Amino acid sequence: MVIIAVAAALVLAGVVVFLTADRPPPTSAPPGPTSASASTTSPAGAPTTTTAAETSAATTGRTTTTTTTTAGPPFPPSLRGQDLTAVPGAGRQVALTFDAGANSAGLPSILATLADRGVPATFFLTGTWARANPSGVAAIRAGGHRVGNHSMTHPDFRTLDDGAVRDQVSRAEQAIRAAGADPRPLFRFPLGARDARTIAAVNDAGYVAVRWTVDTLGWKGTSGGITAAQVADRALGALGPGEIVLMHVGSNPDDGTTLDADALPGMIDRMRAAGYGFVTLDALLA
């Protein structure tokens, strides 16, 4: 009886195996992840993120993935501890720069002149200006110009502790990025006020400090005894390899003049006649 029972069991198992092996494969793949992204761990132990697009690519056999990084562009270590007054090794090139922290009265004229003459420039924006002028930030970027960080609210950094310095820099960066531009790693101190401590704090925040070779003084306006001709003369008087020219986007608050914008066309023409070209401050990062 035992032998017969064992034999019957073996025959029954064979039938099950045969029927299972002959079953057709499923007509659809098993369901995938239900969330938009899944957290995984790399072989090195660092957390990574797999996006829904990457999951889809994996299930369809495609191997292309997209990696996103938020790391800012580095600056050469040799620039640490400096507040640069010229572009090192630039040759016969000039960097035209414009600070924007008040209004935007001169911006349309400035951008039109730069476009007409095919000249790139660098604009240092405060976070408050970027928030108030998102269309201005967009116009600057559309013109192919570079953007830098000019703090959030334009205080004297020497009066701030290191934590407040970092806060000014990071909040300005966030506001400028929200308006569609990336200011890293270019920074200009408000009022030009700095010391070794604040320069180091800005460097530690990932920024190189950029001053200027000459201030045109156009911001003083006609009420301050300045004319457009004097603005251009000051820029030309300091002309040399790697010159950094400081100008302003806004109008004088007392007389409403925009002398930097008014002087810009003739300034560019005279510099070109003297054999100079133009670069953005990205030249510092080469």
Instruction: Report the alpha-carbon distance of residue 51 to residue 35 in Å, rounded.
Output: 9
What is the pLDDT, as a whole number, of residue 19? 34
Cα-based angle 164, 82, 122 (whole degrees, multiple of 5): 80
Using omega within 30 degrees of 0 as the cis cutoff, is the peptide bond preceding 185 cis? yes
Give me the mean pLDDT over the 57-78 stretch.
50
**Spacing of C-alpha 262 from chain mean position:** 28
- Residue of 271, 112, 229, 248 whose CA lies nearest to 188: 248
pLDDT of residue 192 exceeding 60: yes
Tokens of 232: 């251009």
What is the pLDDT, as a whole number, of residue 47? 32
Domains detected in the chain: 77-285 (3.20.20.370)
pLDDT of residue 8 exceeding 50: no
For the stretch 224-278, pLDDT in tens is: 999 999 999 999 999 999 999 999 999 999 999 999 999 999 999 999 999 999 9
Give me the mean pLDDT over the 105-109 stretch.
98
pLDDT of residue 49 exceeding 90: no
* Mean pLDDT for all residues in the chain: 82
For the stretch 127-178, pLDDT in tens is: 999 999 999 999 999 999 999 999 999 999 999 999 999 999 999 999 999 9
Between residues 6 and 266, which one has the greater pLDDT?
Answer: 266
269 is catalytic: no
Q: Which of 99, 215, 260, 262 is catalytic?
A: 99
| DSSP class of 89 | T
For the stretch 200-239, pLDDT in tens is: 999 999 999 999 999 999 999 999 999 999 999 999 999 9
Q: Which of 83, 150, 248, 260 is catalytic?
A: 248
What is the pLDDT, as a whole number, of residue 69? 36
What pTM was estimated for this model as a whole?
A: 0.76
* 266 in Cβ contact with 232 (< 8 Å): yes
What is the pLDDT, as a whole number, of residue 42? 32
DSSP-assigned states of every residue in 191-249: GG---HHHHHHHHHTT-EEE--SEE--GGGTGGGT--HHHHHHHHHHT--TTEEEEEES
pLDDT band at 74 (very low <50, low <70, confident <90, very high): confident
Give me the mean pLDDT over the 4-19 stretch.
37
Pairing relationship of beta strands 277-278 and 208-210 according to DSSP bridges:
unpaired
162 is catalytic: no
For 133, list phi and psi in degrees, rounded to 5.
-130, 55
DSSP-assigned states of every residue in 43-57: TTS-EEEEEHHHHHH
